[in-house]
Amino acid sequence: MTRALLAILRRDLARLLRGAHGGALGSGIALPILFFLAVAIIFPFAVGPDPRLLARVGGGVIWVAALLAAVLPLDRLVEPDIEMGFFDQWALRGIAEEGVIAMRVIAHWLSFAPALMLATLPAGALLGLDGAQLGMVELGLLAGTPGLAALGVMVAAITAGLKGGAALAGLLVIPLAVPILIFGAGALASGGASGVALCGAVSLVLVALAPFAGAGAIRAGR
């Protein structure tokens, strides 16, 4: 069972990093990260180059951009594997869907969160964040992105097989991610670590819930 789950984690990670068409390593994640950076670059053009204004809203912009970047790969998280019969084959081997979904949450997180946190450094510089603010954003992202990953996999499992499931998944994730956004971005305004702690708490609840909700959705969809 452990061996099987590790093999599944390796496959998930390779698939997410290489993209749907099996490009070079990292081509799967390049698009969301470029998208994230593009939002950070375009924002100063939209609101004007006033450094004080940018520094005040910059953290929030990074959070919104991170959320949108996490939504981008939703359509290839679960649905292709259901269509190709992978989930049925795992079920026949007695590998619980809960375990498979837990591996997928880990793989999804690994495929976008570290790269996103790295890309936050240039994005923070573009938006004129100072060192303390940038530290708080990074800390908040570390606490919040596992929740975003869990939410993404859960919603992808629920909407798999629906017509226009990808668009619907994006629409569903955004309101559900509001608590993470409020506490994560709120920590910047209050300047306290309590916001990060609450963001982490919401994140943990989602991580704990996702395997069961996702597995239930896949079994119900058979």
Partner 1 sequence: MQTAALTAWDLCCRRGDRWLFHGLDLKLEQGEALHLTGPNGAGKTSLMRMLAGLLRPSPSLQPRDAAKAGTIAWEGTIALADERPALDPALPLGKALDFWRGIDGARDLPLERLGLDNLLDVPVRYLSTGQKKRAALARLIGQHAQNWLLDEPLNGLDVAGVALIEELVAQHCAQGGSAIVTSHQPIRLPGEKRLDIADYAL
What gap in Å lies between CA 156 and CA 174, rounded to an integer? Answer: 13
Please report whether residue 25 would count as binding partner 1 according to CB under 8 A: no
Please report whether residue 24 would count as binding partner 1 according to CB under 8 A: no
Closest approach, Cβ 116 to partner 1, in A, equals 24
Please report whether residue 8 would count as binding partner 1 according to CB under 8 A: yes
Please report whether residue 56 would count as binding partner 1 according to CB under 8 A: no
Is 91 or 204 the residue whose CB approaches partner 1 more closely? 91
- Tell me the one-letter amino acid at 75: D
**Helix intervals (H) in the chain:** 2-18, 27-47, 51-71, 79-83, 86-92, 97-126, 131-159, 165-176, 178-190, 194-220
What gap in Å lies between CA 43 and CA 151, rounded to an integer? Answer: 26
Please report whether residue 130 would count as binding partner 1 according to CB under 8 A: no
Closest approach, Cβ 23 to partner 1, in A, equals 9
Tell me the number of residues near partner 1 by CB under 8 A. 21
Tell me which of 9, 13, 15, 217 binds partner 1, using CB under 8 A: 15
Task: From residue 84, give the alpha-carbon distance in Å to each of 61, 78, 160.
Answer: 38, 10, 12
Tell me which of 2, 21, 49, 175 binds partner 1, using CB under 8 A: 21
